Amino acid sequence: MNTNKTILRGELILPLVVLMNSFGVVLMLYSGTGISAISSMTYALSEVLPAFSLGTWTYIFQSFLILSLMVLRKKFVPQYFFSFGVGFAFGFMVDVYKEWMQMLPTAVPFRIFYFFMSYLIISVGVALSNRCKMPLIPTDLFPRELAEITGVAFSRIKVSFDLICVVTTAGLTIAFLGGISGLGIGTLLSALTMGKAIGVIGTWMDRHIVFVTHQMRHHTGHRSGRRLRLA
């Protein structure tokens, strides 16, 4: 292991990822530029069928993604079920943030700031999620696993997945609400570019950070005889 890199514990990064990504999703929606592409479909469902909250629809959609992966792999994958728990925490935090974010100022300069901050937060959060060696939020797990199953580059899968979510959202809201809802320039920008941004951030992380878990440290943490630096 390269001890010149910063060592981060996956167990500590996972809750941070859940908090970051759920916050970023709601902040992008609050910016008025449209919800993030990966959450656009669940937003549309929460508007069309408001009996369930945005957070609940998020969890339902994420469960569907997990089941889809097992169908594609044609086998039961026990590790995927850890993602159900992570997805539940994500959906719960979406509802929490949606409640208190109403207190934030709504002037145009603030909204522009909210968009760029949410874009950065989600991009960093997904890059961390893909590397922390812990169960992933299902919406992050799906494109990564699909890239592995198909052999297609993650960035291409991510962009395609986001665009499919956006197109489906537009169809649902036009059909049931009479017009496009929840989508905006921010949604389109994130759908077209976020996969690449995540790739760039991930490449930087690969050069500077090593992610370990308790099991990894137990087996490899002190082979070099030097103390690992935690951050």
CA distance 190 to 38: 9
Looking at residue 112, its pLDDT comes to: 94
**Most confidently modeled of 16-20, 32-36, 74-78?**
16-20
Asked, for residue 226, whether it belongs to a domain, the answer is no
Name every residue whose Cβ is closer than 8 Å to that of residue 44 and which is 6 or more positions away in sequence. Answer: 168, 169, 172, 173, 181, 182
Asked, for residue 51, whether it belongs to a domain, the answer is yes
Per the listing, tokens 């909250």 go with 53
Per the listing, tokens 């990894």 go with 216
- What domain range is 173 assigned to? 6-220
Name every residue whose Cβ is closer than 8 Å to that of residue 19 and which is 6 or more positions away in sequence. Answer: 93
Asked, for residue 105, whether it belongs to a domain, the answer is yes
Q: Please, are residues 90 and 19 in contact by the beta-carbon 8 Å criterion?
A: no
Q: Please, are residues 22 and 90 in contact by the beta-carbon 8 Å criterion?
A: yes
pLDDT tens-digit series, residues 97-155: 999 898 999 999 999 999 999 999 999 999 998 899 888 888 888 998 999 999 998 88
Q: Where are the alpha helices (DSSP H) in 101-230?
A: 108-131, 138-150, 154-177, 185-208, 214-220
Asked, for residue 230, whether it belongs to a domain, the answer is no
**pTM assigned to the model:** 0.80
218 — pLDDT class (breaks 50, 70, 90) = very low
Asked, for residue 61, whether it belongs to a domain, the answer is yes
Q: Is the sign of the CA dihedral 25, 29, 35, 36 positive or negative?
A: negative
Domain count, the chain: 1
Asked, for residue 96, whether it belongs to a domain, the answer is yes
Asked, for residue 193, whether it belongs to a domain, the answer is yes
